[in-house]
Amino acid sequence: MIEDWQKDAEEVLIRYCGSFSPHLIESAKGSYVYATDGSAILDFTSGQMCSVFGHNHPDILAALQQGDTRAIHLLSTMLSPELIALGKKMNELLPEGLDRSIFLNTGSESNEAALRMAKLHTGGFEIVGFAGSWHGMTAGAQSHTYSLTRRGYGPAMPGSLMLPAPYSYRCPIQHCQGTCDNSCLEFGMQMVDQQSVGAYAALIVEPVLSAAGIIPLSPSYMKRLKELCEERGLLVIFDEAQTGLGRLGWNFALEEYELVPDFLTLSKTLGGGLPLAATVCSREMEDSCYEKGFIYVTSHVSDPLCAAVGLATLEILTRDAMAQRAQEMGAYLKQQLVALMSRHACIGDVRGKGLLLGMEIVRDRETKQTDPELGSRIAEECLRLGLSMNIVRVKGYGGVFRIAPPLTVTREEIDLGVSMLDQAISNCTQ
């Protein structure tokens, strides 16, 4: 039965994501969102992966209340004390070589800024991305996003080159089985070289390829990737939209790899549910681009209210040791998911780091035959039972649940969520 509000929504809204959720949400707190019909929905997606410390965290609400007495928005050339303080706090947490920041609104914007700076600094225009990657919906970011969002919108920007994802469960070059030995990287870079016209600018990479089905990049893979980029003069853009602020068990994922990229882009988690993103680079890079006339003026660059929220999220991250909490809760959740795998033959693989985990749904575990339709039915059944789960449908691979509850999730909430997932799978496979 279609509700009145659903009819109203279709009358006034552009349908931008396929079908909208059948629940009308009126409030949210912690690990739950609450619908107008009174139902409580346990959120294993952290909203759109943004409410990393739970919905409506009190510290974030307190930062928003500063808008009563402080500036909310300013002319783009005007700065605020909150913005300067946020830049300083970023420098305290990030390694030397990531010293200058610009604060924007979305991940698309932060990646656009990094891409513009990389092209301006190098004089090149070729950008290398990964199969299944997601870097945003704006023209530049989307051109180097190799997911299901490319078809039907005309040509991408010139110089868009692609590497295969190191998907050991389904090796892209049919070489590895379960453990990647980086052969796909060596082969992929050779193919990229053959496509290049000699105008390399940058490579953009996520430490976990999320929209590709939760594919973590190992330290050895990342080390070799950095070496290959340095050999070619490719700058490295590290997109931590989903992995920053503790989610993988580190404040920032780059800490695990012990490398400093040329650019770090942050979004989603930085605002804790509010629109805040950042592009970070070295002093030398910023000087070079400034001297070349770099410009990136948007309506909400450097907004003071969002900067105050960013300060609050960084305070929560460090004060409450959220990275350590992600390690502990992530290990517990992964253990529970592996136990589910032993009971349900449709679960082909469980993978991921910290509280960013993937669970792949298959028709046959031996052949790894995909079953995206079953995955979608399980997701719908989860929601009916009161659990919000996100399934990413990867072209050629099938369906993978992207499981990312808030870092504040409790063991009791994990147990409840896993029990509902268990019931949903049983209901859909019996």
Catalytic positions: 134, 206, 239, 242, 268, 402
Backbone phi, then psi, for 400, in 5-degree steps? -130, 125
CA distances from 298 to 3, 76, 281, 360 (A): 39, 7, 19, 39
Nearest to 23 by CA among 7, 39, 46, 45: 39
Nearest to 294 by CA among 307, 285, 304, 306: 285
d(C-alpha 236, C-alpha 121), whole Å: 13
> Collapsing DSSP states into helix, strand and coil, what is residue 394?
strand
Residue found under tokens 């809760």: 329
Report strand pairing: 40-43 vs 32-35.
antiparallel
Which residues lie across from 265 on neighbouring strands? 239, 279
Distant-in-sequence contacts of 284-291, Cβ < 8 A, 24+ apart: 285/100, 285/117, 285/121, 286/99, 286/100, 288/121, 289/117, 289/120, 289/121
Q: Quote the DSSP letter at residue 218.
A: P
Task: Give the count of alpha carbons within 13 A of 268, CB side only.
Answer: 26
d(C-alpha 426, C-alpha 172), whole Å: 31
